[in-house]
Structure 1
Amino acid sequence: MKLNLKIFSVFCLTLLAISCGNADDDVDFDFNDKGELGKGTTVDDCLGFGENDLILSIQEQYTAKPSKVSVFFKVSDADGNPVVGLVEDDFTIYEQGRNDDCFNKISTTESSKKISPNGQIFNNSTLLVLDLSKSVLDSSLDELKAASISFINNVMPEEEDKSDSFTMSIHWFDGEDKLHELNPLTSSRDELVSAIESITSTISSDASTDLYGAAIRSTDLASKYLEDNTAKDVIGAASVVLFTDGTDQASRYTKAAALKKVTDADPNISFFSIGLGSEIDAEILKELGKTFSVFATNKEELETTFNEISTKISERANSFYLFEYCTPKRDGSGTSNLVIQVKKQNREGAVQTKFSADGFTGGCGL
């Protein structure tokens, strides 16, 4: 089957918690960087599906006894926009065993299925990076603080998440050759808000702006967050949100070096930029914020622009799904092919993968 798809950026931001009991010990949770369908493949022509309007990109999959199959994937449209709000009834399962010429639809009487809550499967680490050079402190600090607090409230859960599904750190820069930490990575909304409230006009007296250095260092920090997740055998993603009201004045690093750092970054890092006023270079900020950029013409528009970015981050986090079902395949039936199809309103898409039923028995429940 032909797929007429546009390549989309992989950003989001997600953690897979092993909550399925006896998951296979040799599962290697490694975030997908293999293209549109991830670890999946195109669906066999025998099913007669049309072109994909929705793209299911498999990030990871695993099995758990007695007969549970779990597939972790993201859903987007053909333009790469995240698709949120999918529920169990939007999905149909097809299996093909070794005795089947084509796939058979698995009915609800043969198999239960569910979408796991986001809190069990996502970790979304956000780096909020603020320009606190003298021009911002002198002219728009109050508005920036209000916008940042609104951003935090929109991205972070109201109640502190003990599973660390959503975390955020706050950093700032001026003309110094340093990315200052205002608050380390935390899941506490109150802690982040307090950090923003603590910013005063005396936090910096540097009138210069090391924008390129900030972009380079925040990318390195986001990469470290991903490495830390990998070391814990979990899947993670990060978002860098960079705010400035000007251009790079410090000239410590070249534009080419900053853009290369962003361009070559891990595909699981999303980049957002927010520009304020007439002294910014919109084209450069669009390149530094390669996932999405937004601009405020005056300080009164800051909160609106920050909220627009927070919406984008939330959409990406909520376009990841852990789909689980109890397969009727049993021990001795070998490796089976699996197709997951999603239909939402007038759009649909499907992806194919396979699993082994070794050791599977009855008694599965979700």
Structure 2
Amino acid sequence: MGLPIRDQLKYWGVAAAVFLVVLWFVGDVLVPFLLGGAIAYFLDPVADRLERLGLSRTLATALITVAALLIFVIMALLVIPTLVNQAINLVETAPQLARNFTEFLTARFPSLLEEDSTLRNSITAIGATVQERGGALLNTALASFASLLNIILLFVIVPVVSVYLLVDWDRMIAQIDALLPRDHAPTIRRLAAEIDDTLASFIRGMGTVCLILGTYYAIALMLVGLQFGLVVGFVAGLITFIPYLGALLGGVLAIGLALFQFWGDWLSIGLVAGIFALGQVIEGNVLTPKLVGNSVGLHPVWLLLALSVFGTLFGFVGMLIAVPVAAAIGVVARFAVAQYRASLLYQGTEPGSSFDEDPF
């Protein structure tokens, strides 16, 4: 005979409280292990496909590891230094861009920006603030990242954890399944499968879409000759997981930079705008339907709320677990609604009871 519902809720509530307390106190220590687990989860379908082609799990993991190392070396030698340099230069040139914008408005709309006007002073102050705060923010972010994921954690622990978890992923899942409460195992398996489908669609699907679009934006903008094209493409691709936001912010930033750089060269400005328009067409008609699917189960507002709440409460590690937790809460909430609709509380006690009668 299973435990009463009240006792089960008590035990699961205590387990959840312990998990949150541990996360609060040792969250930073868990970061490399969470990153390693995320990498293993992301690459598990690749390893499964290689196994279906005849490779052993160990050989498949070794092949994936070699490919990942080659990609990382190429990124470290070619892309990352350029990305950092362009980001620093963009922050440093923000005041000059603000002055250029002021001169542009003054030349074409002199009545809007008179000398010592509020709007003129505001634009100048914004440029100075971006330079001052932006540089400090960038340096702080790099320093925090270095302190959070130092060289040993980044280059040793994360790859080692991801490799070990990738090798033992199927065995680990089987052991967890064996520990499930027997009374609730079928329901937990079904909910876990729905959570996995949601995460797979979002993390793997949207991660691939972000990577493809970010690479496309960066290469296309650099081929057009736009300064800071790599940074703009990286930013636009990184936030593509929020519908339209990546293209909107990236497009506004890229077109704004293009207006200063190519003023009068309307062909180049049109090419920059066309790059983002084409990116939206490709994302909406090809990438998202093929890689993500029509129903992900994570509304953008719900996702932003989860990122904000967990990021505020638990810092960087909270942001890492925000998406899985949001997916799990969404699946459990839909399950609870389905249970409620099937209950007597919703349907009433009898078919002819007053609860079933239309009061209107």
More strand by share: 1
TM-score when normalising by structure 2: 0.23
More helix by share: 2
Q: Which has the higher contact order (CA 8 A, sep 6+)?
A: 1
TM-score when normalising by structure 1: 0.23
